[in-house]
Amino acid sequence: MPIIFRFKGFEIRFWYRFEEKRMHIHAISDEVNIKIWLEPEIELASIKGNVNESLISEIIKEVKANEQLCKNKWREYLGE
């Protein structure tokens, strides 16, 4: 699935499964997968792997700064 942008060693990307329609992205590194909801507001959904809280906060802040880009890529990919 598409990579939206990169930040501090993480690929910010999404993949879509038909059973989960709520808009979200993943911040993925070799050892960590952070799922972040984009709607109704940006918030942490889940974390797999070990990552410190300050880095999670930085990633969420960067996703917020790129919120429209993330949402536009989601809509573009799904043809919405």
Percentage of residues in the chain having pLDDT higher than 70: 91
Q: At what angle do helices 53-65 and 67-78 cross, to 10 degrees?
A: 70
In the prediction, which pLDDT does 56 show?
A: 98
H helices of the chain, in order, are 53-65, 67-78
Average pLDDT for 1-25: 86
In the prediction, which pLDDT does 79 show?
A: 74
Rounded distance, CA 1 to CA 56, Å?
22
Rounded distance, CA 24 to CA 77, Å?
13
Average pLDDT for 65-80: 89
Using 50, 70 and 90 to split pLDDT, how confident is the model at 15? confident
Average pLDDT for 54-64: 98
